[in-house]
Amino acid sequence: MRAWRVEKLEGISALELQELPDPPAPGAGEATVAMSAVGLNYPDLLMLSGGYQFRPELPYTPGMEGVGRITAVGEGVAADLLGLRMLVGGRTGLLAEQLTLPLASLRPVPEALGDAEAAGFTTGALTAWVALQVRGRLAQGEHLLVLGAGGGMGLAAVSMGVALGARVTAVASTGAKREAALAAGASQVVEMDREAPDFTALKAQCDVVFDPVGGAAVVPALKTLRWGGRYLVIGFVGGRPDPLPTNLALLKGLEILGVRAGEAGRQDPAIGRAALAGIDRLAAEGKLRPQVGLEVPFESAAEAFRRMEDGTLLGKAVIRVRG
């Protein structure tokens, strides 16, 4: 079988499509999956150069989320699962034609999602759920500000905020990304000047900020919060944040909360199970549907990484493994 491999942490140029032995036959509690599609996330890009907090052992295969069909099952796994579409999750390893892994790493695909949507569904939706439901305690009728709202993570947060009954203001850098945020349910959109972000018009109007951007946007976005607001730190696509004026947190009673959805589930499995059940229910109801902005064949995986790196990607990048 073929898989994309990384043997040196040298960025996208280090990606190699290699011929590897087929995965072992499934053991007790395991299944073999023929992958259909894999969705990319920003941590996948960061890992290529060692810039993410989790550093996989070399060599490794990238890919955190995807979709495939079960082709073989091990002892204790029901044979009627054969042929079923399943969501696949892991910290790495998915950008391969076949995988053998524990059944606990799989769950059924919500029927409302096609393969490309399913491949790019879990990470963004799970982060949005843990951020807004668990950490941010977003309540119906509150005002949510979403930065980076044209990316896969930001669009997931827009949809989640709408599903929770919030009023959503979406911030994005291009007209196409702002249109996508409106289509996802945002009430209004704001243009993002990456060099000098200015959210003065929203000063003290928001209850929760969802921020996967960081960089120069942090301080202006912090000032949009009213008394008791919650600032959700998701990531730093825009670079290292400016020094944080903690006096604002004191004066306005603000909470600054870090969000690591996967780690939350590892630390408290009950939170992880509830989050997965919640996002799958919303997807089945048609309330969460990732926007796929780029699909490439398996052989062109590096192109998808480059589009994510240059910041032009709208929504999710998905790599078709087969079909």
How does pLDDT run across 254-288, given as a tens digit for each residue?
Answer: 999 999 999 999 999 999 999 999 999 999 999 99
Kindly state the tokens that stand for 289.
Answer: 């549907």
d(CA 107, CA 230): 32
User: What SS3 class is residue 86?
Assistant: strand
Look at residue 312 in the predicted model and tell me its pLDDT.
83
Look at residues 79, 106, 88, 72 and name the one whose alpha carbon lies nearest to residue 36.
88
Given a cut of 70, whether residue 228 has pLDDT beyond it is yes
Q: Is 210 in contact with 155 (CB distance < 8 Å)?
A: no
Phi, psi of 233 (to 5 degrees): -90, 110
**Residue type for 207, please?**
D
Quote the mean pLDDT of the chain: 95
Q: Is 41 in contact with 67 (CB distance < 8 Å)?
A: no
Residues 48-70 have a mean pLDDT of 95
CA 211, 107, 26: angle at the middle one, nearest 5?
125
User: What SS3 class is residue 229?
Assistant: strand
d(CA 321, CA 173): 31
Look at residue 243 in the predicted model and tell me its pLDDT.
83
Given a cut of 90, whether residue 118 has pLDDT beyond it is yes
Q: Is 100 in contact with 25 (CB distance < 8 Å)?
A: yes
Cβ partners under 8 Å of residue 252, min gap 6: 204, 225, 226, 227, 228, 229
Q: What percent of the chain has pLDDT over 90?
A: 90
Return the half-sphere exposure (C-beta side, CA atoms, 13 A cut-off) of residue 196: 1
**What region does 27 belong to: left with phi over 0, alpha with psi -120 to 50, or beta?**
beta
Look at residue 103 in the predicted model and tell me its pLDDT.
95
Residues 229-245 have a mean pLDDT of 88
Given a cut of 70, whether residue 323 has pLDDT beyond it is no
pLDDT tens sequence across 151-194? 999 999 999 999 999 999 999 999 999 999 999 999 999 998 88
Residues 127-142 have a mean pLDDT of 97
Phi, psi of 316 (to 5 degrees): -100, 150
Q: Is 219 in contact with 244 (CB distance < 8 Å)?
A: yes
Cβ partners under 8 Å of residue 235, min gap 6: 42, 153, 212, 213, 214
d(CA 277, CA 270): 11
Confidence band of 239 (pLDDT split at 50, 70, 90): confident
pLDDT tens sequence across 62-113? 999 999 999 999 999 999 999 999 999 999 999 999 999 999 999 999 999 9
pLDDT tens sequence across 20-49? 999 999 999 999 999 999 999 999 999 999
